[in-house]
């Protein structure tokens, strides 16, 4: 089972406009409404790829009910802990040229009792041979050490973890030794406290993370592709030329693809190729919706990996 932890899920409203040019009024050409937040995005993609997945986390209010309804309609298992305040709602504006702006709420305040109930549920559900994905932000009331606490528990029972977070939340959790981490360019630069411009610089920062016992460091670089660092080897994936509809959620798709591949393939290159194809396929869909599995298979032959 792949368990996707989403402590700060969201309902995403995505608005598609012709361009972002600083105008006070923009005409919306079309829009979508999705159950989202990084953990939910990952779970929806894992499910579409045929993986066995369950969502864990915190949900409240009518927005939380909407997320449950979407997951139920798609046949995705979930065991969210109920909270009193409503789950957040975000707005994303995407132009025809791919430029986008995101307006993300910080999320509901979580009480000590609600957080305790979530942790009890998490400890009860994680089993041997599971893969736990910890992704996204945390809402007010949740301590920054929460991911580290969950990673420590998984390490004690020998359950693999994937971490996809940002800023201080990422840096704190990193020290607890997750199995795999998936920062993007901006998140790695945040961690390094400096701008990074070359593959060698990205790889150098990633290799330093190995001192915490991290096995794989997968860094997504947008249109430039990605790199994966394991041991002394840096694998480089070239970006594909795509007719992009939305890059929002592409990083989540890469996490989902790597999680599914982690369970299916032993070779690191097979895992990386599959994750890259899943991320590419997600760019052809609107909003944060998962890519087409048939398109994933078509992209596999186009993914070029160098080491």
pLDDT in tens, 134-155: 999 999 999 999 999 999 999 9
Give the contacts of 93 (CB within 8 A, at least 6 positions apart): 14, 15, 17, 20, 26, 100, 101, 102, 103
Cβ partners under 8 Å of residue 217, min gap 6: 180, 181, 183, 206, 207, 209, 210, 228, 229, 230
| Mean local confidence (pLDDT), 272-277 | 96
Structural domain boundaries enclosing 74 = 2-306
Give bridge partners of residue 180 from the DSSP assignment. Answer: 162, 216
CA distances (Å), origin 254, targets 67, 113, 219, 227, 244: 22, 34, 10, 12, 16
Residue 248, pLDDT score: 72
pLDDT at 287 (0 to 100): 65
Dig out the tokens for 13 from the structure.
């409203």
Q: How many domains does the chain have?
A: 1
284 has pLDDT over 90 = no
**Who contacts 156 (Cβ-Cβ below 8 Å, separation ≥6)?**
none
* Per-residue pLDDT at 141: 97
Q: Residue 283 and residue 276: Cα distance in Å, rounded?
A: 11
What are the pLDDT digits (tens) for 82-114? Answer: 999 999 999 988 888 878 888 999 999 999 999
pLDDT value at 123 more than 90: yes
Average pLDDT over residues 202-216: 96
What pLDDT does residue 39 have? 96
d(CA 132, CA 150): 9
Judged against a pLDDT cut of 70, whether residue 4 lies above it is answered with yes
Rounded CA-CA distance 199/194 in Å is 14
- For the CA atoms of the chain, what is the radius of gyration? 18
d(CA 224, CA 219) in angstroms, rounded, equals 11
The 10 Å Cβ neighbour count of residue 286 is 15
pLDDT of residue 130: 97
Residue that has been written with the tokens 């994905």 in this structure: 133
Q: Does residue 32 carry a pLDDT above 70?
A: yes
Assign residue 276 the CATH number of its domain: 3.40.1190.20
Average of per-residue pLDDT across 157-180:
97
Dihedral Cα 4, 44, 243, 137, nearest 10 deg: -40
| Residue 289 in this model has a pLDDT that exceeds 70 | yes
pLDDT at 104: 92
Question: How distant is the alpha carbon of residue 51 from its chain centre?
Answer: 16
Percent of the chain, pLDDT > 90?
80
The angle at the Cα of 93, spanning 87 to 99, to the nearest 5 degrees, equals 135
Determine which of 95-104, 227-236, 259-268 has the lowest per-residue pLDDT on average. Answer: 95-104
């Amino acid at each position: 089972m792949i368990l996707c932890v989403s402590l700060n899920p969201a309902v995403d409203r995505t608005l598609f406009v012709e361009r972002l040019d600083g105008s006070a009024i923009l005409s919306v050409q079309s829009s979508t409404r999705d159950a989202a937040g990084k953990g939910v995005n990952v779970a929806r993609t894992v499910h579409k790829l045929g993986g066995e997945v369950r969502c864990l986390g915190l949900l409240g209010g009518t927005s939380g009910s909407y997320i449950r309804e979407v997951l139920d309609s798609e046949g995705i298992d979930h065991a969210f802990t109920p909270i009193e305040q409503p789950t957040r709602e975000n707005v994303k504006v995407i132009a025809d040229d791919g430029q986008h702006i995101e307006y993300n709420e910080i999320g509901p305040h979580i009480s000590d009792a609600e957080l305790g109930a979530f942790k009890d549920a998490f400890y009860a559900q994680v089993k041997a041979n599971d893969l736990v994905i910890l992704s996204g932000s945390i809402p007010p009331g949740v301590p920054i050490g929460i991911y580290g606490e969950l990673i420590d528990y998984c390490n004690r029972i020998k359950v693999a973890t994937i971490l996809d977070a940002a800023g201080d939340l990422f840096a704190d959790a990193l020290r607890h030794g997750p199995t795999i981490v998936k920062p993007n360019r901006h998140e790695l630069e945040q961690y390094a406290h400096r701008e990074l411009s070359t593959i060698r610089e990205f790889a150098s920062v990633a290799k330093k993370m190995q001192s915490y016992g991290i096995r794989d460091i997968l860094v997504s670089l947008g249109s430039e592709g990605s790199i994966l660092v394991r041991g002394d080897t840096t694998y480089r994936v070239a970006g594909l030329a795509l007719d992009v509809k939305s890059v929002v959620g592409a990083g989540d798709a890469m996490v989902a693809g790597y999680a599914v591949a982690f369970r299916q393939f032993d070779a690191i290159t097979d895992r990386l190729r599959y994750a890259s194809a899943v991320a590419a396929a997600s760019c052809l869909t609107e909003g944060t919706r998962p890519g087409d599995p048939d398109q994933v298979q078509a992209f596999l032959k186009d993914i070029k990996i160098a080491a």
